A = this chain, B = another copy of it.
């Protein structure tokens, strides 16, 4: 039997024959059940026996097979994580937060980058389902904003019937737990801060308004402006898409037009970058020619000592909360839907003020 193993190994060159529970049992002169008991610290086992078994395990470097355990126990200890683009800092931070609690709970993560693509997302979900993950953390792909896609996704998630928490991108009609950011409130606050800094004509470069997150940020800001007793002119609303190139074009056009708001709210980090690039290129000086407050912190600007005011959230925390929430859902599948709103912080560093 063992020889047979060895032969296979040599023959297929694929198999590093690891020692199995059966081998350990034989070597220690006990039954598999006993080995299993010491392995899992379950049931009764004589101290002497335990020692014996443990010695054998150490000596032969016994490493139990996760597949076998899962199959037998009918449950894995892995969590699936899907993000749209891991090379975006935001998701890197979030993933970091997730790994922190995964590590402490001894969970493994199966990771997918959906590349903002609904089909890859669907495939990934299928795979995750085969893996029988215990739960799922999903930052939906962007075409989630498309109705048909959203409905497909909803169907698929329903069919999967796996404990799930959605992060970052909210949407209507999604019955699952979620961790989102205070988009409306933070944007509202951005308006207030700009007002308090003395600005009276406020404008905004929006995100993708097909996304709820984009609409929320616009509406929060708009309401903030209104509540300051000002009004947000239509021509001071620049409709962007959360991406740098468009924000850059919009800003450039704005500066070329020769007429622009005293202060601008940029809807996310990419938008802020596009805006900053344009100011740079057009010789516009922040604090003199225009004020700005962004959504999302851009750590690198802090590092460089470039003042940039913002409303922002703790991305690590978002990841941590998501996984904790998922674990609670797994513990208690019947509790009602749970939504956690990550609070926002405000960081003022001068760019929200104009001195002319």
Chain A residues within CB distance 8 Å of chain B: 13-16, 18, 61, 63-68, 70-71, 74-76, 78, 81, 85-89, 91-93, 95-96, 99, 103, 108-113, 120, 126-127, 129-132, 159, 161-162, 244, 273-274, 276-277, 280-281, 298, 300, 303-306, 316, 333-334
Contacts and interface: CB of A to CB of B under 8 A. Distances in A.
Nearest to A87: B96
Given A99-B111, A109-B111, A273-B304, 14 more contacts: A13-B334, A14-B75, A63-B130, A66-B132, A67-B68, A86-B86, A87-B95, A87-B96, A89-B89, A89-B92, A103-B113, A108-B127, A110-B110, A273-B303
A273 B304 CA distance: 6
Q: Chain B CB within 10 Å — which of A65, A103, A126, A304 has the most?
A: A304
Given A110-B109, A113-B95, A130 B305 contact: no
Give the number of copies in the complex: 2
B111 A110 contact: yes
Smallest CB-CB A-B distances: 4 pairs: A99-B113, A92-B92, A111-B111, A67-B70
Given A86-B92, A89-B87, A304-B277, A99 B112 contact: yes
A132 B70 CA distance: 13
Contacts of A111: 81, 95, 99, 109-111
Given A280-B304, A304-B280, A162 B16 contact: yes
Contacts of A120: 103
Contacts of A333: 13
A344 to B, nearest CB: 20
Nearest to A281: B305
Given A66-B132, A87-B96, A96-B113, A71 B74 contact: no
A273 B300 contact: yes
A174 B125 CA distance: 37
A190 to B, nearest CB: 21
Given A65-B130, A99-B86, A303 B244 contact: yes
Contacts of A273: 300, 303-304
A334 to B, nearest CB: 7
A269 to B, nearest CB: 9
Nearest to A73: B67
Contact of A85 (B64, B66, B67, B96): B96
Contacts of A244: 303
Nearest to A75: B14
Contacts of A274: 303
Nearest to A112: B99
B76 A86 contact: no
Contact of A63 (B74, B96, B108, B129): B129
A15 B74 contact: yes
A72 B76 CA distance: 17
A64 B127 CA distance: 10
A173 to B, nearest CB: 22
Contacts of A66: 67, 130-132
